[in-house]
């Protein structure tokens, strides 16, 4: 049976559930590989730990329309390993380490990172093609976010995203610089940047949307 939450209930669940779970000592750790299956939700995370970001003491602001927006997140300037992040885990510092099976009180949220690529040629607001470093992590078509703009695309080559629809989903088309990151959007977690650059994982911002 499908369910539908009122706006007030979505805000209540976001505030008393997700926000409360990760306020004070919240962490966001990145791993290689694929997000665990339902059967392995409490198992030791697989893949290589790439690094861990520290959430603010008050990790999120108050929810609005079922959406939580993260407060400032510190970068990890001494990453544990280099590699491509496949998924991330929200967890609390001081609860069972991610090298152990989750205990009865341990709260973890697993989320796929999605694909991303980096501009190798600056883009103007009216451009309908992005020239990038590598699209191998990107699906054949979809939506990306770059800075504050969402952009749809209908095709790709190894080094381009093509058929761009600029200023999608109520955002504003804008110019973007070389090395700006275009990251695949996600319906529940939207990362602006989750990129390992040398020895650093830079996490700029993200939002969490409660299910309808």
Q: Can you give the three-state secondary structure of the chain, one letter per residue?
A: CCCCCCHHHHHHHHHHHHHHHHCCCEEEEEECCCCCCHHHCCCCCCCCEEEEEEECCCCECCCECCEEEECCECCECCCCCCCCCCEEEEEECCCCCCCCCCCCCCCCEEEECCCEEEECCCECCCCCCEEECCCCCCCCCEEEEECCEEEEECEECCCEEECCEEEECCCCCCCECCCCEEEECCCCEEECCEEEECCEEEECCEEEECCC
Residue 149 inside a domain? The answer is yes
Regarding whether 121 and 110 lie in a shared domain, the answer is: no
Q: Which domain holds residue 137?
A: 117-184
Regarding whether 198 and 107 lie in a shared domain, the answer is: yes
pTM of the model: 0.69
Residue 1 inside a domain? The answer is no
Contact in structure between 19 and 63 (CB atoms under 8 Å): yes
Regarding whether 30 and 93 lie in a shared domain, the answer is: yes
Quick: pLDDT tens for 26-52: 888 888 888 889 999 999 988 888 888
Regarding whether 109 and 139 lie in a shared domain, the answer is: no
Regarding whether 137 and 60 lie in a shared domain, the answer is: no
Distance CA 65, CA 132 (A): 35
Regarding whether 51 and 135 lie in a shared domain, the answer is: no
Regarding whether 39 and 70 lie in a shared domain, the answer is: yes
Regarding whether 135 and 202 lie in a shared domain, the answer is: no
Residue 2 inside a domain? The answer is no
Quick: pLDDT tens for 87-106: 888 898 877 668 888 888 88
Regarding whether 196 and 153 lie in a shared domain, the answer is: no
- The count of structural domains within the chain is 2
Residue 122 inside a domain? The answer is yes
Quick: pLDDT tens for 59-73: 888 888 888 888 877
Regarding whether 91 and 21 lie in a shared domain, the answer is: yes
Residue 174 inside a domain? The answer is yes
Residue 166 inside a domain? The answer is yes
Residue 68 inside a domain? The answer is yes
Regarding whether 195 and 104 lie in a shared domain, the answer is: yes
- The predicted model gives 148-169 an average pLDDT of 95
Contact in structure between 10 and 210 (CB atoms under 8 Å): yes
Regarding whether 59 and 42 lie in a shared domain, the answer is: yes
């Amino acid at each position: 049976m499908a369910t539908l939450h009122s706006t007030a209930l979505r805000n209540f669940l976001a505030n008393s559930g997700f926000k409360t779970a990760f306020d004070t000592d919240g962490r966001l750790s990145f791993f290689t590989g694929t997000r665990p299956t339902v059967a392995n939700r409490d198992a030791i995370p697989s893949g290589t730990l790439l690094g861990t970001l520290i959430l603010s003491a008050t990790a999120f602001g108050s929810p609005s329309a079922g959406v939580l927006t993260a407060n400032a997140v510190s970068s990890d300037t001494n990453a544990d390993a280099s590699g491509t992040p496949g998924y991330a885990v929200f967890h609390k510092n001081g609860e069972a380490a991610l090298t152990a099976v989750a205990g009865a009180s341990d709260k973890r949220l697993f989320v796929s990172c999605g694909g991303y690529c980096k501009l190798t040629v600056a883009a103007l607001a009216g451009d309908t093609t992005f020239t990038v470093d590598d699209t191998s992590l990107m699906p054949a078509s979809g939506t990306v976010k770059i800075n504050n703009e969402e952009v749809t695309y209908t095709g790709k080559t190894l080094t381009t995203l093509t058929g761009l629809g600029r200023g999608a989903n109520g955002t504003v088309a804008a110019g973007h610089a070389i090395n700006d990151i275009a990251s695949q959007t996600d319906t529940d977690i939207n990362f602006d940047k989750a990129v390992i650059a040398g020895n650093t994982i830079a996490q700029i911002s993200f939002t969490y949307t409660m299910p309808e």
